Amino acid sequence: MNKLRILALIAAFAVQLLYGLTFTFAKDVMANGYVKPFGFIALRVGGAALLFWIVNFFTPKEKIETKDYVKFFVAAIFGLVVNMLFFFKGLELTTPIHASVIMITSPIIVLILSSFYLNEKITKLKILGVIFGFTGAAILTIYGKSPNPGDNVSLGNIMVFINAISYSIYIVLIKQLTDKYHPFTFIKWLFLFGFFMVLPFGYSDLTMVDTSTLHLTYGFL
């Protein structure tokens, strides 16, 4: 195994670790009423857009083909708007464990979509994995429960599953864009479009945030 592959695997593990922590922290923030789901998304996407456009000043500049702006816009719909709004609203209603398990279906959906859109081959072993993955997610969605009486696990699980489908479509759609443009070029436009699309949903939630109630719950933050 070469050094670049090892670094890639370490980076992928770090991303998944941080992504996993998001389930628990975001659920806690929303459960305590600090920030509602859509307001959370507006802050997340807006902060990321600002960060990437600042970093843009120190990265190579690329010219975007006019037709590709439409692709960035569509990618933002599936990768940020539908994906994040449904995920965080679903997470508010279900549990972090349920949400994380359902998100396992994303690679499965990507596999299916790639076979049609990118003509990737599906083997028997992959088909078996798809069956097991969807079966587990379906059982959890239907029969999952939460100790929190305010949760609506079934609805929350369905919304997280819609998020998984949207994210999978996004992964397939961006293949050509990520091959064509530098990652920072792609990300800065993706989040810029995404911010203006999620802001109408999150603005009302943001106006209700009481900053005086915010505090650092976790000692290591």
In a domain, 28, yes or no: no
Q: Kindly list the distances between the CA atom of residue 17 and the CA atoms of 11, 20, 95, 155, 184, in Å, as whole numbers in the listed order.
A: 10, 5, 18, 26, 22
In a domain, 171, yes or no: yes
How far is 20 from 95, CA to CA, in rounded Å? 13
What total number of domains does the chain contain?
Answer: 1
The DSSP secondary-structure symbol of 182 reads -
153, 95 contact by CB (below 8 A): yes
Is the pLDDT confidence value at 6 over 70? Answer: yes
Is the pLDDT confidence value at 215 over 70? Answer: no
- For 47-92, the pLDDT digits (tens) are 989 999 998 888 777 888 888 899 999 999 998 899 888 888 887 7
In a domain, 35, yes or no: no
Confidence of residue 190 (pLDDT cuts 50, 70, 90): very high
Q: Does residue 2 sit in helix, strand or coil?
A: coil
Structure-model confidence comparison of residues 16 and 45, the more confident one: 45
Q: Does residue 104 sit in helix, strand or coil?
A: coil
Q: Which domain holds residue 107?
A: 82-183
Predicted pLDDT at 136: 65
How far is 59 from 216, CA to CA, in rounded Å? 33
In a domain, 69, yes or no: no
Average pLDDT, the chain: 76
Residues in contact with 102: Cβ distance below 8 Å, sequence separation at least 6, in sequence order? 137, 140, 141, 157, 160, 161, 164
Is the pLDDT confidence value at 142 over 70? Answer: no
Q: Provide the b/e sequence for 174-207 (b: ≥16 CB within 10 Å).
A: beebeeebeebbbbbbbbbbbbebbeebbeebbe
Q: Kindly list the distances between the CA atom of residue 127 and the CA atoms of 97, 103, 115, 172, 203, in Å, as whole numbers in the listed order.
A: 25, 18, 12, 18, 43
Confidence of residue 219 (pLDDT cuts 50, 70, 90): very low
In a domain, 122, yes or no: yes
Report the predicted TM-score, pTM, of the whole model to 2 decimal places. Answer: 0.70
In a domain, 13, yes or no: no
Predicted pLDDT at 196: 93
In a domain, 152, yes or no: yes
In a domain, 58, yes or no: no
Is the pLDDT confidence value at 4 over 70? Answer: yes
Predicted pLDDT at 96: 67
Helices (H), the chain: 3-31, 37-55, 66-76, 83-93, 96-102, 105-117, 124-143, 153-173, 175-180, 183-207
Look-up of token digits 């719909």: 77
